[in-house]
Every structure is written in structure tokens, then in C-alpha cells.
Structure 1
């Protein structure tokens, strides 16, 4: 069976570049949208050219030019949008809605994966106010996709390792703490930690799979479901070190959030709250609305938390 042609939108981003790599490695004809707005961003241009050298086709387009998006979409079977989460703030939600309009007009796309890749927004209607707009925006896009009857797969990848594994989920740094670590609540909520390359692998695996059509693909590989306590214990074992542990109560954590002025930082703390105090990645059973990735694709050798942590030694 021939492989679907995939257009990656946002291919130079954190997840996007990994989607391009996974698409190529799995043998898909891979197209990457090269936005005219790239300007003088030399790093992005060099990355795009490297994709071309690896076999991807660069397709010029712009969100300010509807026809260019239509022309890009016409060339492929699948669209995977990986725009940064920052793009959901303020008026930038329009970017993905414009992409939805182009896909709807063309009418040939057999699967659309839009930019989620973390917590399932359909389960976050109760979110704290500071970070709620991201979830609300994602649900607006979902509604547009479903109203247009565009075939879709939503990806719920939970916690990306680069943000929460290497730093033991300590805000303000991306590297491990030296001797003291904060633990949220009792530290016993189950959390799903994911290697970003594995997120891309599972995503591309799903796009030609009828079992994931119009469903959410939840990434919950067994070895990567840990509590905060277990994550810290793994690092202590690897480093032969014992940390001073400070447990932060729900009340104290919420109070500390009130003192944070930067809204982006505050939104990040909201994520920590929902992940570690509420256990939002594992506090529900997957029903008919979804499938679990590692069960569908047992052949994927995913990166364990232990392996991910060793990078920081």
C-alpha cells in the first residue's frame, strides 16, 4: 500500500522538526510548508534546506494568502499542523482556522492532525483561569474541524520530556536541580512522560490507521507512567545522590501562583497544577473516543524515562 503524502505545517518547531524526521523515516512523501514570512530567520531557513537535502519537498505558502494554502494542501493526503503553543494566544488562533478553511475548500484530505500534542483539551474545561485560554482555543479549532467534517486524529502526548523530565519538573530551569527539589502535594499522582521523538513516531504511525480515524490517540507507554516521587527517585539512583525534598501543598502552590506577574510563566504553573495535583494525564479511562498508542503500535521501541534522564548525567 502506498504511503500517504504528508504536509507538515510548522516544520521548524520543537515538535514539527521531529514530525518531518518521522515522516521521512517511515517512508512518506513529505512536504514542508515554507512560509513567506520567514524573512531573515537564518536558522529556520537552514533547517528547511536540510529537510530538502533529506528528501522533503518545500512548499511555499502564507497564512495571509488563502490560495497559497489551498495550493499547498492540494498536493497531499494528510496535513499535520505543529504550530507552537504560543501561536494559540491572542489573534493567532486564526492561523489554524485559516488552515482549516483551506483544507475544507480542497476537500481531498483524508486526515488532519492539528497542533495539540499535550493534555487533552476536551477534559480541561475546569482549568484554572490563567491557562484556560489555550484549552479553549484548541476546542474552538476542534469544533471548526468537526463542523467542516474533516477527518482527524487528535494527539494527546501529555508531558514532553524536555520540559518536565530533565529538570525533575522544577520551574525556572530545564536542567536538574543540584540538591533540593520541590514535590507537588504528596507526589503520588500518576503522570505520563514522553520523549518528543516518540511523540512524532506515534503521530505519523496513526495517520494511515483506520483505528485512529476521528479519535484521540493517547500516548501512555507503560514504562513512562510515573509519579513525581518516582521520577525523583530515578534521578537520585542514577546520580547516587539524595535530595532535600520540600512538599508544597495545594494551598501554598496556588498562593504562589498569584504572585507571578508574567502570564506565560503563570500558564506554565497552571499546567504543573493540573498535572501533579489533579493527575490530569491519568485520572480517566480511555473510552470509545480514543486509543492508546503503545497498544496499537507495540513494535515501537519508545524511550523510557530512565533513558531520557541519562542524557543529563
Structure 2
């Protein structure tokens, strides 16, 4: 049987990162987690790292501010997955990965790099409005550096994280579903795609040794989870046995609301704008440079939106 790749996960204590560590261990990979000194005395992250160690992961100290430590960590593995958060838009945290690209070039042994993306495919967002396009632009800057360096890669487009979108019936600022009312974006009929976070991790780990995904984008499009906001609300109504009151927010009204928000909020709202008014996640066909995860890995029984909603009953 072919040996599984050794994996280094950067950002392992984060929202998705901890799930990537779990999935990597479950799928039988020798798993390393970068322990960054920057976490300081954050006791919860320290305890999480120790729990990874108990589960069989290996901790390796390294920092984006210490090039040599990154190189030495990379030399221990075959594959590196970065899951650093991109929410700190002003600090362009995603661009920290440019330091990782330099370290990968020097180490010379990495067979696959999966940079921190896991959302909307930035290559499809060239027409995104300001200021939200900053996150797409930063990710494309990292992609260019990866490809210019000739580093083997897989990009993962995971679309909408279920915890952030499904729980709040797709409404900004909501993570729990209301039994009474919901605001629809426009007519609520624009299709989007929702994926359980544990499923995102499982699909991601599946791809790292798969030649079919080498130098391609992996799109997570579980067929049952390609739904409009109105359909998500309908599933919730079915579960609770009643209709909720619906109001509609027009495209222009949404843009007007954005103008009064601070920079970070505007960036986040821009993503909602393109997802729920323009359908940016589902309005294109996957071409020859991409693969669809649920088609490649039918053995993963993904969580359907309806089943995800049941936990809120």
C-alpha cells in the first residue's frame, strides 16, 4: 500500500485548522502542527495543541517571523496546509504566506501546498467591489507567488461555512435560526453552496495524495447543499412546523447599509453581497482546471443542510 504523505498544518488552533488536524489524523497521516510562539499565553490554544499531541500529532515550533524555523519544519513533511485566518483584512494576514512560499522554495521537498483559501474562488472574483475585493486580491497574490515558484499546489474552494451561514439562515450577524422572522436578500432565490466544516476538512485531507487534484482547484459542491436562501429557510420552516415572517432587502438597500459600516464590516458585507445578489459561488461551470469534491470522494457522506439545521431544534 502506498505510504500516506506527512502533513504540516499551519493555523491548527483556528476554526478550520483544528478540524484539519483531526481529519488528517483520522485519515492516517503522520501529522505535524506548527506551534507558533505568537500564541503567547493563550491558554485555550496551548491546551488545544496539547490535545493534538495526545491524539498523535507532533508539535513543531516555528514562526512566520523566523524563516529558518519554517524551513526546518517543512523539511519534516511532504505536504503543507495553511489555515491562517484571513479576517484581519487591514493587516493583510493572508500575505504572510509569501514568507511560507519562500521557505518552501528553500526546503525543496514539499510535494503539495494548500494555501489558506477555503472560501470563494478568488480567481472568479476579478469584478468584486471595494473594499471586499482585498481578500481576493491578496489570495491571488499568494497564488501567483506559488505558481511562479513552480510549487505543486491544490486550491480549495469550500464556499459557505455552514456554521456561519446555515445557522443564521444566511443573515449577516446571525448564527442561530429564528423561529419568528427572517430577512431575505432580494427575492431570496439566488443559489449558494453550504458545507459542514468537518466535511471541508475531510475533503481537503482526501485531496493531498490524489494526482487528480494536483495543480487544480478543488470545489466543494455537495449537490444537496446547492440551495437558495429561500430554500434554506424553507427547510427550517419544515423542521419547526411553521412559516416565519419574511421581509426583503433590495440590492440597493444592502449597498446603502454597507456605506455606514466600518472597513472590516464592509469587507465582510461585500462577500455577502456577491454571494446572495450575484450568485458568485454557483454561477459558473467547473472547467478543466478544477475538480468537484463530492464526485471525486463519494465515500464521504457529507452533512446535508436539512440535517445540519436539526441541531438547532
The TM-score normalised by the length of structure 1 is 0.98
* 2:15 match: 14
Matched, 1:37 2:64: no
Q: Distance in 1 between matches of 2:94 and 2:173?
A: 27
> 1:211-230, aligned counterparts within 5 Å?
211-230=212-231
Q: Distance in 1 between matches of 2:223 and 2:93?
A: 36
Gaps of 5+ in 2: none
Residues 188, 229 of structure 1: 8 Å contact kept: yes
Residues 34, 59 of structure 2: 8 Å contact kept: yes
Q: Distance in 1 between matches of 2:145 and 2:18?
A: 26
* 2:312 match: 312
* 1:143 match: 144
**Deviation (angstroms), 1:278:** 0.5
* 1:72 match: 73
Q: Distance in 1 between matches of 2:90 and 2:21?
A: 25
CA separation of 1:306 and 1:81: change in aligned 2, threshold 3 A: same
Superposed structure 1 runs of 4+ greater than 2 Å apart: 86-94
Q: Distance in 2 between matches of 1:37 and 1:229?
A: 43
Q: Distance in 2 between matches of 1:91 and 1:133?
A: 8
Deviations 1:160-187 (A, max 9, x none): 0111101001112211124111111111
> 1:234-253, aligned counterparts within 5 Å?
234-253=235-254
Matched, 1:293 2:293: yes
* 2:186 match: 185
Deviations 1:56-94 (A, max 9, x none): 000011111100000000000000000011255425344
* 1:268 match: 268
* 2:257 match: 256
Aligned-residue RMSD, C-alpha? 1.0
- 3-state SS of paired residue (1:311): helix
* 2:62 match: 61
Gaps of 5+ in 1: none
Q: Distance in 1 between matches of 2:163 and 2:247?
A: 23
- 3-state SS of paired residue (2:87): helix
Residues 199, 302 of structure 2: 8 Å contact kept: yes
The TM-score normalised by the length of structure 2 is 0.98
Q: Distance in 1 between matches of 2:5 and 2:126?
A: 34
- 3-state SS of paired residue (1:167): coil
- 3-state SS of paired residue (1:268): helix
Q: Distance in 1 between matches of 2:121 and 2:185?
A: 21
- Equivalent residue pairs, number: 312
**Deviation (angstroms), 1:208:** 0.2
Q: Distance in 2 between matches of 1:30 and 1:157?
A: 22
Q: Distance in 2 between matches of 1:93 and 1:13?
A: 14
CA separation of 1:87 and 1:72: change in aligned 2, threshold 3 A: farther
**Deviation (angstroms), 1:128:** 1.3
